[in-house]
Amino acid sequence: MIVSVNPATGAELTRFAPLTGDEVETAVDAAVSAQRQWRQRPLAERAAMLRDIAAVLRDRKDRYARLIVSEMGKPLVEAEAEIEKCAVTSEHYTDHAAGYLAERSVTAEAGVVYDPLGVILAVMPWNYPFWQFFRFAAPAFAAGNGALLKHANNVPQCALAVEEVVRDAGFPADLFRTLLVDVEQIAPLIADDRIAAVTLTGSTEVGAIVAAQAGAALKKQVLELGGSDPFLVLADADIEAAARAAVKARFVNVGQSCVNAKRFIVEDAVADEFVAAFLRHAAELKIGDPADPATAIGPMARANLRAALHDQVERSVAAGATVLAGGEPVDGPGFFYPPTILDHVRPGMAAFDEETFGPLAAIIRVPDADEAVDLANRTEFGLGAAIWTSDVDRARKLAREVEAGAVFVNGVVASDPRVPFGGIKKSGYGRELGAEGIREFCNTKTLWIGA
């Protein structure tokens, strides 16, 4: 069974029987048929319909936000922002898809055109149950593709709500379906010749499995995987601004994001000042009922995730890290864990070496900027990074040395529909959003026409 549980209470919300093999077969066939017709519609018409998705999302923002709150524990204000971001991204591709996919002339005879690939299988996680799908789907639909969604099994109601949005926005029946299936049903879908490509957002471990399966079938993949984003604070930074941003960067979504800042690498000269400010701002975060608009820290999404995070804290402390705040699960119902700050973290500790998916911040002290960049890169991940300094020209040079898909100077790493998003190393490959994102699931075709 696929079971939905309220993370704030631990109580079961509902459960669903997985689709049978015959039901999946029917859905795939129908999606292929619908996509063949969809791709024939003018690009402008397809893109314009994304504005209807935005309208449905905004009209039902409160209901969908509260569904996110109840099913994965996101604080209400952040859940509302997630729905709005989906709407904004849909509108972005309404306005820009035609430009991103415009035919390009290269020579007098040759040019480049972009054709849709077909039906894309999207394997998506629970932490942003609407956003992770729509950031893929908005450009994919505009490009002429269809989609099937295998969502995380702890957010089945959000998965069905996503299908509701697309249907009620007037998209063709069967162009998109949510498939409530068990994990073992994914591999046959990936191998199915009717599936043109695969996109996955999830852990590095799951990404390796899906990549192997898709690779065996010679299918295009876009993988957005784990992260251990560094947040570099140099001696000339505005420390108060950096600390305030650091708290947001680490604890938004209760620390459960691939692009949360996780390792705070601070020059010794300002480390004490930064840590004091970081502690002060973190202490202002209210822990409690995620449905309360004043709450900043809700529960973690599942009990096993909380247990894994606590194990990382304990192993890091045993290896010499110092607990400055938090460090123990919150007693009572639900899967709450307080904002936890570890100081004097270094390579070899769990808080440095591993992805910490929850409200745990690791402070690493370094003598200079060169060491900061070296430690920033001493990770298997390469998703995002931030550099805080008053010398922007210097930051521009340092940013080119940081191994990441995105580097933000004096800002918090975030995705934006106008620019590409994705990682390197074990954070995955391929890009979402921007022009690059919409072209990922297109056939970039050379068209040569003789005289």
Annotated catalytic residue 273: no
CATH class of 2-225+424-448: alpha beta
Residue 385's contacts (CB-CB under 8 Å, 6 or more residues apart) are 229, 230, 231, 232, 376, 399, 402, 404, 406, 407, 408, 413
Annotated catalytic residue 86: no
In contact, 266 and 317? CB cutoff 8 Å: no
pLDDT at 101: 98
Residue of 91, 224, 267, 403 marked catalytic: 224
- Which two tokens mark 437? 């994102």
Residue of 78, 258, 354, 403 marked catalytic: 258
pLDDT at 451: 79
Spans of the chain below 70 pLDDT: none
pLDDT at 129: 98
Asked if 2-225+424-448 and 229-409 have one fold, the answer is no
pLDDT at 356: 98
In terms of Cβ atoms closer than 10 Å to its own Cβ (0-12, 13-18, 19+), residue 129 is: buried
pLDDT at 114: 98
Residue spans per domain, the chain: 2-225+424-448, 229-409
pLDDT at 307: 98
Residues listed for the chain: 451
Integer Cα distance of 429 and 201 in angstroms: 11
CATH number for the 229-409 domain, one of 3.10.290.10, 3.40.309.10, 3.40.50.740, 3.10.20.30?
3.40.309.10
Q: Of 358, 408, 350, which Cα lies nearest the Cα of 379?
A: 350
Q: What percentage of the chain reaches a pLDDT higher than 90?
A: 100
